[in-house]
């Protein structure tokens, strides 16, 4: 599977990780990424099953290469791009996939609400 995920609480809006997993349950990988190294969970925007996931992942990385967040270490698969542009490229590749444009970012949004309440009290 090739996945496209975001974590606006950790990386801001418009930053997506485009990665790949060979796991039978691909969401296990997403949960693992959101465990201890970031303060909030990742949101899944797209999960694509592919018979040749490495080739698809490489094609997406190449398409967005100039949008890499880390231009020194290509193993860091984060890209600054809009969700609509990602969806458009997936459509252009002829891939049928459900794509979610808006990140739920539940923990992040709940944290913001709590902080707003605390700030009103103080």
Write the pLDDT tens digit of every residue in 36-57.
789 999 999 999 999 999 999 9
If you average pLDDT over residues 63-67, what whole number do you get? 97
Sequence-ordered list of residues with C-beta below 8 angstroms from that of 54, at least 6 positions apart, any chain: 20
- Sign of the four-CA dihedral 83, 60, 89, 22: negative
Whole-structure pTM value: 0.92
Q: How confident is the model at residue 121 (pLDDT cuts 50, 70, 90)?
A: confident
- Sign of the four-CA dihedral 39, 57, 93, 3: negative
The percentage of residues in the chain with a pLDDT greater than 90, rounded to a whole number, is 89
- Sign of the four-CA dihedral 105, 40, 69, 64: negative
- Residue 100 confidence (pLDDT) above 80: yes
């Amino acid at each position: 599977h090739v996945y496209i995920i975001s974590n606006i609480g950790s990386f801001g809006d418009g930053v997506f990780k485009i990665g790949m997993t060979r796991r039978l349950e691909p969401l296990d990988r997403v949960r693992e990424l959101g465990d201890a190294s970031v303060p909030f969970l990742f949101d899944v925007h797209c999960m694509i099953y592919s018979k040749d996931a490495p080739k698809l992942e490489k094609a997406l990385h190449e398409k967005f290469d100039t949008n890499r967040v880390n231009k020194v270490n290509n193993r860091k698969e984060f890209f600054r791009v809009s969700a609509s542009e990602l969806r458009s490229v997936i459509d252009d590749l002829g891939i049928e996939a459900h794509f979610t444009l808006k990140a739920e970012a539940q923990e992040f949004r709940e944290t913001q609400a709590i902080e707003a309440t605390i700030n009103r009290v103080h």
